[in-house]
Amino acid sequence: MTTLPTSTEKKLGLAIDLDTCVGCHACVVSCKEWNTSNYGTPLSDEDAYGAEPHGTFLNRVHSFEAQPESGCSQTIHFPKSCLHCDDAPCVTVCPTGASYKRSEDGIVLVNEDDCMGCGLCAWACPYGARELDQLSGVMKKCTLCVDRIYNENIPEQDREPACVRSCPAGARHFGDFADPDSNVSKLVGERGGIDLMPEMGTKPVNKYLPPRLKDAPSEARLPETNKDAKGFLAWLDKALEAI
Amino acid sequence: MHPAPSVILFTSLSGLGFGLLAWLGLGLPAVTGWVAFVFYFIGYALAAGGLMISAFHLANPKNAIKSFSQWRSSWLSREAVMAVISLLVIAVHAIGTIFFSTRLPAIGALGTILALGTVFTTSMIYTQLKSVPRWNTPLTPILFQLWSLGGGGLLAGQFTAAAVLLTILGAVQVIAWKQGDAKGATGQSTIETATGLGRIGKTRLLEPPHTGENYLLKEMAFTVGRKHALKLRIIALICAVVLPVALIVAFPATHALALPVIALHIVGLLAARWLFFAEAAHVQRLYYGM
């Protein structure tokens, strides 16, 4: 059923550290690599080597610039994938029952055997987290690598989402938000983790750890260090002025 | 939002069809035999034809039958269920009037309620989307009902009632356009609420995640033709409301008028419905700096 579970036993999701992300797009590539060859149909690309390549991705990294009232602007790399919302509007709009939220761990999934490709769930998602695959005609979204995290055929250290496993900076953390002592719950508590677009009322499970405010805001211009020349340069300066 | 021709045609034609069937259910006009057949044929062709056109925008239509299953939560599923139920109930009334010259008023009235209910479920598919602020207003279902009953009234030859409904429609449509403009494209949401970076300061997109197009941008960041929005609004109002009402008032009870009035109204309806999609903005465009 596309009604939402009243509560989920676990709330598996990601805490994404915007202070740490370096914008390398490794998570984008590893997500595509894992998910094109595992759960469901492949993530297709069209015109991949042509003039207008486009394709399906479950995770994309945007880069923003925020300008404080004084001093330099800050560049923030911003990975974005499904937030596995508690009140997921994409699930309830689904007419065929393909979209569902799991009551055991809160992961939002698409059963591709039921999807008719109407695209209404992608319209309902405020975050742009769902993409209709143009070749297979079914809706694709982040599965939180459900086929890795419970997979006993792979080494234990690999049993986390591909994006988390591949992040060279450690900007993505995977865990259970229902457990107040989990790594992600602690991080969110310490760093004041936030929801994206709270005004949409979707109650996202994934949280973003906002960039720490700079204790000493950098200035736009470097201080002039060679104002008071000494020795030979001081003599040259004077001599040139005298001409 | 991307104004897909199949969705524009579907919502416009099925709205007109169910509007006509709603009038016929009330016995307006009280026709029987062959004349009733022609009226019902037009109603069913538009309503059922529109539903079939809607299947063309499905990327995986083989699963379309499953869309009848989730009526507990999904307005799209409710629309599918309601459409079939109302077409079946109205068929009973239609058979009575066409073949037996007998009207079953209770069944007819039920058919009217179901037809308008179907139009309501269609409108709720759009109204429910908080992610599209321009649609997320009680005016959306009111407008869909007025378009359906007004246009259906023209098809049913109920010119006086239709003229009144179209006049109300024109007023509500203008209010809806104004309200949508006042909300701003993305409503309460800004790039700062979308990214949570407002605590640092004013935010802008520095680099998009990819240089090419993607499904999200094609489907939900449609901007082509918005510059003609004002012209199209005027065309929609003049064709759908002003000219039909003026003609009805100027030449009352002239049946020769039906064809030009309906043709004009449909042109205006298609322009308004195109705008309904093309002017609506989805909040996810904020992540693309739009």
Q: Do A116 and B66 count as a contact with CB atoms less than 8 A apart?
A: yes
Q: Which chain A residue shows the shortest CA-CA distance from B72? A: A3
The answer to whether B177 and B271 are in contact (CB under 8 A) is: no
Alpha-carbon distance values, A9 to A104, A161, A177, A178, A188 (Å): 5, 19, 10, 8, 19
Task: State yes or no: pLDDT of A56 exceeds 90.
Answer: yes
For residue A2, being part of any structural domain is answered with no
Predicted confidence band of residue A81 (pLDDT cuts 50, 70, 90): very high
Q: CA end-to-end span of chain B, whole Å?
A: 13
pLDDT at A13: 98
pLDDT at A96: 96
Predicted confidence band of residue A228 (pLDDT cuts 50, 70, 90): confident
Task: State yes or no: pLDDT of B71 exceeds 70.
Answer: yes
Domain count for chain A = 1
Chain B hits for A115, CB-CB cut-off 8 Å, are 60, 63
CATH number of the domain enclosing B95: 1.20.1630.10
Task: State yes or no: pLDDT of A1 exceeds 70.
Answer: no
Inter-chain CB pairs, A–B, below 8 Å = 208
Mean pLDDT, residues B11-40 = 95
Task: State yes or no: pLDDT of B185 exceeds 90.
Answer: no
For residue A4, being part of any structural domain is answered with no
Chain A hits for B200, CB-CB cut-off 8 Å, are 66-68, 74, 210-211, 213
What value does the mean pLDDT of chain B take?
Answer: 93
pLDDT at A150: 97
Task: State yes or no: pLDDT of A177 exceeds 90.
Answer: yes
Interface test with A, best of B1, B6, B63, B125 (most A CBs within 10 A): B63
Chain A hits for B6, CB-CB cut-off 8 Å, are none
Bridge partners (DSSP) of residue A208 are: A16, A194
What value does the mean pLDDT of chain A take?
Answer: 93
Task: State yes or no: pLDDT of B26 exceeds 80.
Answer: yes
Least confident of A70-79, A116-125, A167-176, B39-48: A70-79
Q: Do A114 and B212 count as a contact with CB atoms less than 8 A apart?
A: no
CA distance A208 to chain B (A): 8
Task: State yes or no: pLDDT of A218 exceeds 80.
Answer: no
Q: What DSSP assignment string belongs to B242-262? A: IHHHHHHHHSTT-GGGHHHHH
Least confident of A95-99, A168-172, A179-183, B219-223: B219-223
CA distance A176 to chain B (A): 22
For residue A98, being part of any structural domain is answered with yes
Predicted confidence band of residue B256 (pLDDT cuts 50, 70, 90): confident
Q: Could you identify the residue written with the tokens 């990601």? A: A14
Q: Do A131 and B216 count as a contact with CB atoms less than 8 A apart?
A: yes
Q: Do B200 and A66 count as a contact with CB atoms less than 8 A apart?
A: yes
| Cα–Cα distance, A198 to B28 (Å, whole number) | 49
The answer to whether A141 and A80 are in contact (CB under 8 A) is: no
Q: Do B60 and A201 count as a contact with CB atoms less than 8 A apart?
A: no
CA distance B7 to chain A (A): 11
Q: Do B74 and A2 count as a contact with CB atoms less than 8 A apart?
A: yes
For residue A3, being part of any structural domain is answered with no
Domain count for chain B = 1
| Cα–Cα distance, B107 to B114 (Å, whole number) | 10
Predicted confidence band of residue A223 (pLDDT cuts 50, 70, 90): low
Task: State yes or no: pLDDT of A93 exceeds 70.
Answer: yes
Mean pLDDT, residues B230-259 = 90
Interface test with A, best of B10, B11, B66 (most A CBs within 10 A): B66
Mean pLDDT, residues B248-252 = 88
Share of chain B above pLDDT 70, in %: 99
In this predicted model, which residue has the larger pLDDT, B51 or B139?
A: B139
Range of the domain at A90: 12-242
Q: Do A210 and B197 count as a contact with CB atoms less than 8 A apart?
A: yes
For residue A197, being part of any structural domain is answered with yes
Q: Do A66 and B203 count as a contact with CB atoms less than 8 A apart?
A: yes
ipTM of the complex: 0.93
pLDDT at A243: 83
Task: Look at chain A and count its residues.
Answer: 243
CATH number of the domain enclosing A189: 3.30.70.20
pLDDT at B196: 95
Residue type, B24: L
Predicted confidence band of residue A213 (pLDDT cuts 50, 70, 90): confident
